[in-house]
Amino acid sequence: MPKNTYLFFCALAAALGGLLFGFDTAVISGAEQALKNIYTPQYESLALHFGSINFWHGFLVASALIGTIIGALVAGQFADRYGRRAILRWLGIIFIVSAVGSGLAWGMWSFFWFRLLAGLGVGAASVVAPMYIAEISPAHLRGRLVAMTQFNIVSGILLAFLSNYIIAGLNLSPDATWRWMFAIAAFPSVLFFVLLYFVPRSPRWLMTRNLRDEAAAALKKLGTDHGSVAEELNAIAASLKQDVNVAEEPLFQRRYARPILLAFAIAMFNQLSGINALMYFAPRIFEMAGFAKEGALLSSVGVGAMNLVFTMAALVIIDHFGRRKLMLVGSVGYIISLSATAWAFYKYGTSFSGVGSQVVLWSLFLFIASHAFGQGAVILAFISEIFPNRLRARGQALGLTTHWVMAAAISWTFPMFAESSGGNTFAFYALCMVGQLVWVLVVMPETKGVPLEEMEKQLGITR
């Protein structure tokens, strides 16, 4: 098998974790209203002691996101200890169990725990899959190959929206409908698990374990930055500096302040756009804007399709135009689309006309296109590039943990905030994106085409 073909296959196999990430993120949108109808008596009982019905519904919907925080926090440590490929295989098992368990849940709390498990897999996959792909990829292909994870994420999102729409149209009982929406994810989970038996371990992780021969064998199949396997191994070894205490070196040091702050900022802004509010509550948002239930589900499919198309466009050009230009375009699109959505909710409130509904529809299509072309395509590649080899797992975990903490906060609070004012909610997201635009213009560096071993010098990291 030619090097590039084998490299593409390995990246695709790891990126299937992204498809499951996307599916588990979006599938809840088709079932959240059914879950509210089923579990409202329990919400009411819990609300007597703390919170409100919307608080507890947001809590159940965000259960997977709570798991993502745990998964992202621990994934880096386990990936450093056992290897990237080994952890990805275990995640395949987690995805299978969580899909089947969510479909068979026998009550609110069993559903919560299986969705928490799904989130654990999503959080860990969001750290380990792009990290693995970054470490097997030559610099000139790294951006588009890491972005393949994002392509699979949006494919998973579209698949979830489309699956929800199809299952809802099968005239199953209400109980069977929402259960199948979750259980169907077991099929791609099995495929993910099987394909991982045909990919090598990360050559850079192998070098941290002094397994030079296996690393050389992997690089011969995958390709190199330096033209020869020996030169590549020497560059990796120089970056690692053969430090026997690599795993114990603290991440939070003054010299790593810049990559830490960069990872924190891009992850925080990613969720302050409100993207997860749309992913988790798309049908409800369209119903708030005057669409009938079936039309709301179909509009969600349109969101997923738009997401996929613009992610594909970004995937093609990310290594040519660079990360900053995509972020600039995306930031401007965010501001325009979120401001227009906020205006529509301020003007029409709960009495949407045909014009108001169309403004929300096309504004949210522009929003998802802006996200897919900018933040969505860039975040995983950017975070995987800015940390040194010896700290990449923990740096990736830091960035993605920030992402998932913010995602949980946005998804948990959206039902409460949107209930009082959809206009204020989207206006807040628009204001946050003005902040992102300033950050991109003033702070964000360009990482396009820079070998991982040279990134330290560009960011001023010294030992």
DSSP string across 173-241: -HHHHHHHHHHTTHHHHHHHHHHGGGSPPPHHHHHHTT-HHHHHHHHHHH--SSSSHHHHHHHHHHHHT
Distance of alpha carbon 458 from alpha carbon 444, whole angstroms: 12
Whether the CB-CB separation of 18 and 128 falls below 8 Å is answered with no
For 461, list phi and psi in degrees, rounded to 5: -90, 125
Q: What is the pLDDT of residue 330?
A: 94
Does any domain span residue 244?
yes
Res 267 pLDDT > 50: yes
> Quick count: other Cβ atoms within 10 Å of Cβ 60?
21
Does any domain span residue 463?
no
Selection from 159, 125, 154, 141 nearest residue 13 by Cα: 125
Centroid of chain to Cα 113: 21
Q: What is the pLDDT of residue 45?
A: 84
Distance of alpha carbon 324 from alpha carbon 434, whole angstroms: 15
Q: What is the pLDDT of residue 243?
A: 46
**Based on C-alpha coordinates, what's the Rg of the chain?**
22
| Average confidence score pLDDT of the chain | 84
HSE toward the beta carbon, residue 301, CA cutoff 13 A:
13
Q: What contacts 48, CB < 8 A, 6 or more positions away?
A: none
Using DSSP's 3-state secondary structure scheme, residue 166 falls into helix
Does any domain span residue 24?
yes
Res 254 pLDDT > 50: yes
Residue type present at position 259:
P
Res 80 pLDDT > 80: yes
pTM above 0.85, yes or no: no
- pLDDT bracket for residue 50 (50, 70, 90): confident
Q: What percent of the chain has pLDDT over 70?
A: 94
Selection from 256, 372, 363 nearest residue 306 by Cα: 372
Does any domain span residue 379?
yes
HSE toward the beta carbon, residue 292, CA cutoff 13 A:
2
Whether the CB-CB separation of 278 and 303 falls below 8 Å is answered with yes
Q: How many domains does the chain have?
A: 1
Strand intervals (E) in 108-197: none
Q: What is the pLDDT of residue 226?
A: 65
Q: List the domain range (segments joined by +) for residue 265.
A: 3-458
Res 244 pLDDT > 50: no
Whether the CB-CB separation of 151 and 314 falls below 8 Å is answered with no
Maximum Cα–Cα distance across the chain: 68
Q: What contacts 286, CB < 8 A, 6 or more positions away?
A: 295, 296, 299, 300, 360, 361
205-222 per-position pLDDT tens digit? 888 888 888 888 888 888
User: What are the distances in angstroms from CA 47 to CA 43, 44, 52, 54, 111?
Assistant: 6, 5, 5, 9, 19
Selection from 240, 224, 221 nearest residue 232 by Cα: 224
Does any domain span residue 117?
yes
Res 139 pLDDT > 80: no
Using CB atoms within 10 A of its CB, is residue 248 exposed (0-12), middle (13-18) or buried (19+)? exposed
Does any domain span residue 164?
yes
Joined tokens for residue 314: 């970004």
Distance of alpha carbon 291 from alpha carbon 352, whole angstroms: 9
25-43 per-position pLDDT tens digit? 788 878 877 888 888 888 7
- CATH classification of the domain holding 134: 1.20.1250.20
Does any domain span residue 387?
yes
Q: What is the pLDDT of residue 437?
A: 97
Does any domain span residue 386?
yes
Q: What percent of the chain has pLDDT over 90?
A: 27
